[in-house]
């Protein structure tokens, strides 16, 4: 069975975003590559050398969140609402913590609260334009 891992594109804020995600979700960076590491003939301007070419945040259970700053010279990222990252915490309290931390400076589109179907659930767009859903499903029984 394949493993699906989200890959996020940013316009120069990838490192800041991934520091937030690591502080909220835990995990460890497996790799961080910068545009300055590319061969000299790649045409990367010195101003863009510190930008993230690739980053991987290993979250456990074979899950990895990856991302990069868009390559220099490429049009700015277009963020849409057709894709969101779903986080399924182990408790309602952890869900609240994650939701509150990711929503700082962003926009809550659906408050994190008990829903009619029984889950604690909410939606938000973080300050980097990434859409998130946090869903804690209490165990039955």
Structural domains in the chain, CATH included, are: 7-69 (3.30.720.100), 85-136 (3.30.720.110)
Mean predicted confidence (pLDDT) in 33-62: 86
| Residue 23 confidence (pLDDT) above 90 | yes
Q: What is the CA radius of gyration of the chain?
A: 17
Report the alpha-carbon distance of residue 13 to residue 16 in Å, rounded: 5
Across the range 16-38, mean pLDDT stands at: 94
pLDDT in the model for residue 141: 46
- Mean pLDDT of the 38-56 span: 84
Query: What are the b/e assignments for 75-94, b being 16+ CB within 10 Å?
Result: eebeeeeeebbebebeebee
Tell me the CA distances in angstroms from 73 to 41, 50, 81, 117, one per residue in order. Answer: 15, 15, 25, 46
Range 35-60 average pLDDT: 85
């Amino acid at each position: 069975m394949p493993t699906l891992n989200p890959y996020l594109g940013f316009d120069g804020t990838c490192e800041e975003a991934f520091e937030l995600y690591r502080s909220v979700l835990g995990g460890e960076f497996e790799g961080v590559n910068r545009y300055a590491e590319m061969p000299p003939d790649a045409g990367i301007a010195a101003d863009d050398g510190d930008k993230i070419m690739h980053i991987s945040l290993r979250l456990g259970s074979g899950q990895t969140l990856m991302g990069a700053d868009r390559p220099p010279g490429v049009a700015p990222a277009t963020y849409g609402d057709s894709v969101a990252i779903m986080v399924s915490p182990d408790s309602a309290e952890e869900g609240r913590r994650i939701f509150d931390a990711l929503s700082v400076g962003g926009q809550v589109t659906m408050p994190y609260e008990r829903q009619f179907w029984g889950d604690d659930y909410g939606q938000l767009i973080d300050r980097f334009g990434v859409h998130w859903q946090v869903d804690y499903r209490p165990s039955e029984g």
